[in-house]
Structure 1
Amino acid sequence: MALLTPLLSGFIAAIIGIIPPGLINMTAAKINLKEGKKNAMWFVIGAVLVIFCQVYIAVLFARVIDNRPDILTLLREVGFAIFSMLTIYFLFLAKKPKAKKSKIKKSSKKSRFFLGMLLSGLNFFPIPYYVVVSVTLASYHLFKFENNTIFTFVFGSVLGSFVVLYSYIAFFGRIEKKTDYLMRNMNTIIGSITGIVAIVTLINILNYYFGN
């Protein structure tokens, strides 16, 4: 039971982080439509392998930060500023994205595996995302920076990422219209999420300075 919480936490965090239509999941879906499920699965395996490394590095970095309250507070303040600026940008300044149809040429399983690794490696979002997630969970005593807990959290994150990517492959044809709607409203969605995160971060900062 002690490992169930980090497993579910990693699983849920991965779903939240990867479920919005993005380069990796949309590419996986389109490879499935153009080249078949096998090539798409090789792409997913390559992407998930890199995600495993990214989450593990993020949690190790978070463990160092967790032992330094001063650094943690500074990161919260920087994070609040960044998320506030992102909220303003996505809600008021950014242009609405348009769904673009991309052409994918027929390729081998090996090339799709490395393409998955490449696109996943170019996505730096998971590292700061999982740093914040793991530190936040630890602050609420829902996560401990112990080896077995870390590996369980990482496994949950990988499992959640795989489930989301597989869902895009399996059900993309049914949800394609909905993904177009999401793409048109992506700025509002992202801006709302970053706004919520900014508010939560501000509350944590105020509790740190005035809670005692």
Structure 2
Amino acid sequence: MNISLPLLLGLSAAAIGTTPPGLLNMTAAKVSMRDGRNRALWFAFGASIIVFFQTLLAVLFARFIDRRADISVILQEIGLVIFTVLTIYFFWIAKKPKPKKKKEEVKMRTKSSRFFLGMLLSSLNVFPVPYYVFISITLGSYGYFQFDTFFIYTFSFATAIAAFLVFFGYISFFKSKERKDTFLSKNINYVIGSITGVVALITLFKILSR
């Protein structure tokens, strides 16, 4: 079977869905600025693994979820709660970065902790599931997507690769701007909180407009 089509579709879909600034992107940038590029890459790797399973889950249940409108509503309600909690956390609980204490930070923030943080935040981000459900069903209606095992796993693998590359881009960009963008580095929690707040408001609007 031709492997290029599911790879291309997966890379394109993930690039479109992941490139706009979001919780995972900005958190990867934050980890890069505070803990270094290596730990940020571990964060990105952990998040990308979850992206693979989220895509796989979305595609496997695409037709079922598409026929059940109540499932989509439940996903939106769960997302609303999660992003509301995250907004509160980043605005009122998370503290601003303190002056650098490299030795202490290395001890407290290990590579494994960044890896599992990436997995955790990516797991809380439920929006990729309905996104890839929509993508797979839409592509399938035009005959570009096939719901067989090889196609599904290749597509899911491609989305994980694309997500990691996007995270890497954010990590590299913000790391190179670390010394210049002092305002951003000092207020990164508020940036993330603003993003999650906007997503929560959009989700609430969608739920109320039904």
- Residue 30 (structure 1) shift: 1.7
- For residues 21 and 145 of structure 2, the distance between their equivalents in structure 1, rounded to whole angstroms, comes to 29
Letter paired with 2:120: L
Letter paired with 1:108: T
Kept in 1: contact 2:24–2:122 (CA 8 A): yes
Alpha carbons of structure 1 residues 6 and 164: separation in structure 2 relative to 1, 3 Å: same
Instruction: Please say which of residues 167-176 and 4-13 is displaced more in the overlay.
Output: 167-176
Alpha carbons of structure 1 residues 159 and 169: separation in structure 2 relative to 1, 3 Å: same
Question: How many matched pairs?
Answer: 162
Kept in 1: contact 2:43–2:117 (CA 8 A): yes
Matches within 5 A, 1:47-196: 47-64=47-64, 71=67, 102-103=96-97, 106=106, 107-173=109-175
Kept in 2: contact 1:63–1:145 (CA 8 A): no
Alpha carbons of structure 1 residues 186 and 152: separation in structure 2 relative to 1, 3 Å: same
Letter paired with 2:132: Y
Alpha carbons of structure 1 residues 36 and 175: separation in structure 2 relative to 1, 3 Å: closer
SS of residue in 2 equivalent to 1:128:
helix
- For residues 102 and 12 of structure 1, the distance between their equivalents in structure 2, rounded to whole angstroms, comes to 35
Percent identity of paired positions between Structure 1 and Structure 2: 46
Which stretches of structure 1, 4 residues or longer, exceed 6 Å deviation after superposition? none
- For residues 4 and 133 of structure 2, the distance between their equivalents in structure 1, rounded to whole angstroms, comes to 20
2:7 pairs with 1:7: yes
- For residues 151 and 52 of structure 1, the distance between their equivalents in structure 2, rounded to whole angstroms, comes to 9
- Residue 138 (structure 1) shift: 0.3
Matches within 5 A, 1:41-52: 41-52=41-52
- For residues 153 and 44 of structure 1, the distance between their equivalents in structure 2, rounded to whole angstroms, comes to 19
Determine the structure 1 residue equivalent to 2:39.
Answer: 39
CA RMSD in angstroms, aligned pairs only: 3.3
Unaligned stretches of 5+ in structure 1? 83-97, 199-212
- For residues 101 and 140 of structure 1, the distance between their equivalents in structure 2, rounded to whole angstroms, comes to 48
Kept in 1: contact 2:32–2:174 (CA 8 A): no
- For residues 101 and 18 of structure 1, the distance between their equivalents in structure 2, rounded to whole angstroms, comes to 26
Determine the structure 1 residue equivalent to 2:85.
Answer: none
- For residues 140 and 36 of structure 2, the distance between their equivalents in structure 1, rounded to whole angstroms, comes to 42
Kept in 2: contact 1:137–1:143 (CA 8 A): yes
Matches within 5 A, 1:13-28: 13-28=13-28
Unaligned stretches of 5+ in structure 2? 77-90, 99-104, 185-190
SS of residue in 1 equivalent to 2:119:
helix
- For residues 111 and 10 of structure 1, the distance between their equivalents in structure 2, rounded to whole angstroms, comes to 28
Kept in 1: contact 2:29–2:171 (CA 8 A): yes
TM-score (norm 2): 0.65
Alpha carbons of structure 1 residues 162 and 36: separation in structure 2 relative to 1, 3 Å: same
- Residue 131 (structure 1) shift: 0.4
Letter paired with 1:12: S
